[in-house]
């Protein structure tokens, strides 16, 4: 769902702020593209559906229900399949959330971002801390054990103390899943311009590292499992949908700018493709109306490209890349053959950042925080 009510100061996503949305037309296009791509993939069963954006909580429950009906009509959507909706606190009244639950949503991901009003204003968010708190409480009532919150750290001018306080407040509020994202200053955003222009200070790298390590320690002490670089779950409330990305499973992207990775068996394809749908909503709708889907770009992934993705995504998780998953993509060349030989991976193991054992290849607790700096040398070893 590509539409938002306003653009946040840090956001570079494919989002559109328009005076009015022809929701019936968008809904019809989403339903049609869903059916077309499912038919093209020939997948038999769906494990999860994720409504992202934009701000999908601005869509009506009727639209959410129509897309889920299209999914269930084209493939098996088990009763217990995870169905997540991303929501902004400003569009999550209890009545609205109840409508989404009735439509088939069973997990909510709320873009809280901060519980400090001054920080929310800096970020250009349209909600207050009190509204965020109310939204999370309403969500927990309707989706107990399946409510997640997003928080941002590393804001210009944010102190370590302010971050620790914000996290403490979030822990008192949140249910069972927290996603933490370091703010990245994307070119073309208001916030990036303010920092590069000198009107706002850029946060120092060592402070960012301290904020991340503090958050990890606090969340783990509160009973959360740090199951992915940015994600923490308690009582087994991991995001099934996001795990499928990190485990390099197939997924279909529907809607403007959505990404997918699947084998188009319906047209005789045998290899996984990376697909991107047309970005601009009106152009996307025209394409869906004329040919059933709005796929703008499709690239057949080579065996090496697939393994690069398996490695880069799998190492983000605490389980890492299992031998079984690697073997699915590389039946000829084992993990041991690639990363057990003398080279970069062995050096990283000796330095305490990486483990290769009977379970597979994964980062240590310390290594997970440094993954971005470990990956280039591992990818080089894989390419050789």
CA dist., res. 139 & res. 229, Å (int): 25
Report, as an integer, the average pLDDT of 220-229.
97
253-277 pLDDT tens trace = 999 999 999 999 999 999 999 999 9
Mean of the per-residue pLDDT values of the chain: 94
Q: Which residue has the tokens 């996001």?
A: 242
Whole-number percent of the chain with pLDDT over 90: 83
Query: Residue 186 above 90 pLDDT?
Result: no
pLDDT, tens digit, 9 for 90 and up, residues 155-166: 998 999 999 999
Cα–Cα distance, 211 to 94 (Å, whole number):
33
Per-residue pLDDT, averaged over 182-199, amounts to 83
What is the distance between the alpha carbons of residues 75 and 305, in angstroms, rounded to a whole number?
28
The region of weakest confidence among 169-183, 218-232, 274-288 is 169-183
Which pLDDT tens digit goes with each residue over 337-382?
999 999 999 999 999 999 999 999 999 999 999 999 999 999 999 9
Q: pLDDT for 93-138, tens place per residue? A: 899 999 999 999 999 999 999 998 888 888 888 889 999 999 999 9
CA 358 to chain centre: 29
Which letter does DSSP use for residue 210 in this model?
A: H
In the chain, the domains with their CATH numbers are 23-243 (3.30.750.200), 248-300 (no CATH), 303-383 (1.10.10)
Question: Residue 197: what pLDDT?
Answer: 86
Strand partners, 227: none
- pLDDT number for residue 187: 81
Yes or no: say if 34 and 67 are a contact pair by the CB < 8 Å rule. Answer: yes
Q: Could you give the 3-state DSSP secondary structure of residue 73?
A: helix
DSSP SS3 for 206: helix
Pairwise pLDDT comparison (47 vs 91), residue with the higher score = 47
pLDDT at position 91 is 77
pLDDT band at 13 (very low <50, low <70, confident <90, very high): confident
């Amino acid at each position: 769902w590509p539409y938002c009510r306003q653009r946040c100061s840090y956001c570079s996503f494919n989002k559109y702020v328009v005076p009015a949305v022809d929701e019936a037309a968008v809904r019809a296009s989403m339903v049609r593209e869903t059916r077309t791509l499912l038919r093209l993939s020939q997948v038999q069963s769906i494990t999860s559906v994720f409504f992202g954006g934009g701000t999908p909580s601005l869509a009506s429950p009727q639209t959410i229900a129509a897309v889920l009906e299209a999914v269930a009509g084209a493939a098996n959507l088990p009763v217990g399949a995870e169905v997540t909706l991303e929501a902004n606190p400003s569009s999550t009244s209890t009545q609205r959330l109840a409508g989404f639950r009735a439509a088939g949503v069973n997990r909510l991901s709320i873009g809280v971002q901060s519980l400090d009003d001054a920080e929310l204003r800096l970020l250009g968010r349209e909600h207050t801390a009190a509204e965020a708190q109310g939204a999370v409480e309403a969500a927990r009532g309707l989706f107990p054990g399946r409510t997640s919150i997003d928080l941002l750290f590393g804001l210009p001018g944010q102190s370590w103390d302010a971050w620790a306080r914000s996290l403490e407040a979030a822990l008192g509020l949140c249910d069972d899943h927290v996603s933490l994202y370091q703010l990245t200053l994307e070119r073309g955003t208001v916030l990036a311009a303010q920092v590069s222009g000198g009107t706002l200070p850029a946060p120092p790298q060592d402070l960012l590292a301290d904020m991340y390590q503090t958050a990890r320690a606090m969340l783990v002490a509160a009973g959360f499992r740090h199951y992915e670089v940015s994600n923490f779950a308690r009582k087994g409330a991991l995001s099934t949908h996001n795990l499928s990305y990190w485990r390099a499973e197939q997924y279909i992207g529907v809607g403007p700018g959505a990404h997918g990775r699947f084998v188009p068996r319906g047209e005789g394809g045998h290899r996984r493709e990376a697909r991107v749908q047309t970005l601009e909503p009106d152009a996307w709708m025209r394409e869906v109306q004329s040919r059933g889907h709005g796929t703008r770009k499709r690239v057949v992934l080579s065996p090496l490209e697939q393994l690069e993705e398996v490695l880069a995504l799998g190492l983000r998780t605490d389980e890492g890349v299992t031998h079984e998953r690697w073997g699915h993509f590389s039946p000829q060349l084992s993990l041991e053959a690639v990363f057990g030989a003398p080279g970069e991976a062995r050096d990283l193991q000796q330095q305490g950042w990486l483990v290769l054992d009977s379970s597979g290849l994964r980062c240590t607790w310390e290594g997970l925080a440094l993954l971005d700096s470990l990956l280039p040398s591992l990818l080089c070893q894989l390419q050789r």
